[in-house]
Structure 1
């Protein structure tokens, strides 16, 4: 008749610790996997504040009536953005209902504190500019806007003067200018050289690379953060690539869609701080956000695969 071994108290304690550790292994592995997929951040040069590299633009997608089916999808867009570690929501008074919809969604979900809110002033004149920006505060339901930008350089001298005062007062945290077309790059460059700015928002994509010639290097030299709009070239490039098989090398850089490839290209430029592809669909937001994790290839990588990037 055999006798079971008797464990001492210290052996029992060690066994309990070991079993507890083993029980947590699946959770630890899941946490590490989630952490590995967490979105990268890059420092805003003016303050070194970390900014997640993929945000969400609200043009068109957020300009929808509150009772519409399109509106009902938008809380899921914010869920996907925040779940991936993103924070940046970019809007403008020229985007119709987008500012108000953004403010309503954040208020309803009590997540204003999680968002980096960027919007713009887009009107001529000192008083008109102040009135429009005050309206943006109301629509976004906030008493402080993270980034206020002069949209398309419209009356930028007047508005930047106002914004510097508001920045000193703490009403806005950062100021900048925007544009979206290469025909304006000479003026954008002149403003970058003449003014002290925190941010430049500009178009840059695989099929619209002109900003990389002078503006992106100048922004880096001047310590200006860069937000890239139109990373899909206005959407035309993505539509052209949609039916083309994803190249085998996409897996090497952690991409499972053409959208991720195009965003990785934009984020591979060292001067780029963040990109803001617009969407109104949660699944597209999640797909876009995934491009912000992992590493970003160097210029030589993209040069090697140039041919397979053509539609």
Structure 2
């Protein structure tokens, strides 16, 4: 079986939910054109910790830790102060987490500022695969936000830049339009200010699918895609069933988020938090990003990775049966069913603000 046929087979199996994680890892490695990186190796100059699990990031050739440190919680109102946020970032990286998430709009930019301070100390930037996101839909807004993020993060380049909140039906067309955000992002990549390009969204699998289809029309390849993947999603307007197979088929690195649904899934009590965090790890993801707002939550994420074992089809079916009844109502996935999480709808100026 050649590479193209293998990837098609993987995509079909992923859609059916029947592919074991070892085969998923092999598929990711084939997409990347290399073997799955082993603990203790170095990818793109980033050292890997022997106690952390790593997976290929699509076909980029990069290896990322199985959990990533979410950026919003670094400056979440009522949460950690600056010094505690820096300690948590350092502890996570020291434990083998090599992926840091952030966004231009998180907490008025304070999340990027705190992460920048943490990474500027003691060489931590060189141990980190750094991602941030922008909201701008025009080239002018996108370039302005990239420059602002570079300054806040105290770095000369961002490893991965993602278009944030692709949640409206016209977002794909706006990004790819003449004078749209992609023009600025491609220019920034040419200038060495960013390395890889992806997109995120939490609202609709159909809109994610449209983003991929629009990219195909423009012969553009997204390196990554970020989406909600959790114990509830499989039952209700599912990213897992719709978008994951599309990403696998294209060799795009999959990044999961919202394992706890901003506590709405957590409060359902259908299973312990560690099991909730481990569920998406048996999907063909590169990484699961999770909010970490204390040392205790950091240790929970690390324990989830340490104790993770791939699920069998029977185990997966049993887990999904526990969440089916409540998931079908959509009440635990308010990011899909309400505008509560839609920062760019509540602040439309972010789409055009440089």
Same fold at TM > 0.5 = yes
- What is the CA-CA distance between 1:289 and the residue it aligns to? 2.4
- What is the CA-CA distance between 1:36 and the residue it aligns to? 10
Change (3 A) 1:305 1:119: closer
Q: Distance in 1 between matches of 2:88 and 2:267?
A: 21
Q: Secondary structure at the match of 1:147?
A: strand
Offset from partner CA, 1:150-189 (integer Å, 9 cap, x none): 1123542222232223323322111011101126344334
> Residues 92 and 298 of structure 2 are in contact (CA less than 8 Å); yes or no, is this contact kept in structure 1?
yes
Q: Secondary structure at the match of 1:303?
A: helix
Alignment correspondent of 2:11? none
Q: Distance in 2 between matches of 1:78 and 1:131?
A: 26
The question of 1:141 aligning with 2:154 is answered: yes
Alignment correspondent of 1:175? 197
Alignment correspondent of 2:316? 302
The question of 1:120 aligning with 2:146 is answered: no
Q: Secondary structure at the match of 1:55?
A: strand
- What is the CA-CA distance between 1:124 and the residue it aligns to? 3.1
The question of 1:98 aligning with 2:114 is answered: no
Alignment correspondent of 2:277? 263
- Structure whose alpha-carbon radius of gyration is higher: 1
The counterpart of 2:100, out of the listed 70, 73, 89, is 89
Q: Secondary structure at the match of 2:262?
A: helix
Which segments of 5 or more consecutive residues in structure 1 lack a partner in the other structure? 1-34, 247-257
Moved more, 43-52 or 273-282: 43-52
Alignment correspondent of 1:24? none
Moved more, 88-97 or 183-192: 183-192
Q: Distance in 1 between matches of 2:53 and 2:123?
A: 24
The counterpart of 1:214, out of the listed 237, 242, 247, is 242
Change (3 A) 1:46 1:159: farther
Q: Distance in 1 between matches of 2:202 and 2:248?
A: 19
Change (3 A) 1:269 1:299: farther
Change (3 A) 1:299 1:169: farther
- What is the CA-CA distance between 1:79 and the residue it aligns to? 3.1
Alignment correspondent of 2:213? 190
> Residues 256 and 287 of structure 2 are in contact (CA less than 8 Å); yes or no, is this contact kept in structure 1?
yes
Structure 1 vs Structure 2 CA RMSD: 2.5
The question of 1:156 aligning with 2:156 is answered: no
Q: Secondary structure at the match of 2:264?
A: helix
> Residues 122 and 129 of structure 1 are in contact (CA less than 8 Å); yes or no, is this contact kept in structure 2?
yes
Q: Distance in 2 between matches of 1:73 and 1:85?
A: 19
> Residues 206 and 233 of structure 1 are in contact (CA less than 8 Å); yes or no, is this contact kept in structure 2?
no
Q: Distance in 2 between matches of 1:203 and 1:193?
A: 23
Alignment correspondent of 1:73? 84
* TM-score using structure 1 length: 0.75
Q: Secondary structure at the match of 1:227?
A: strand
Q: Distance in 2 between matches of 1:111 and 1:76?
A: 12
* TM-score using structure 2 length: 0.67
The counterpart of 2:257, out of the listed 229, 233, 251, is 229
Q: Distance in 2 between matches of 1:134 and 1:36?
A: 32
> Residues 88 and 118 of structure 1 are in contact (CA less than 8 Å); yes or no, is this contact kept in structure 2?
yes
Change (3 A) 1:57 1:69: closer
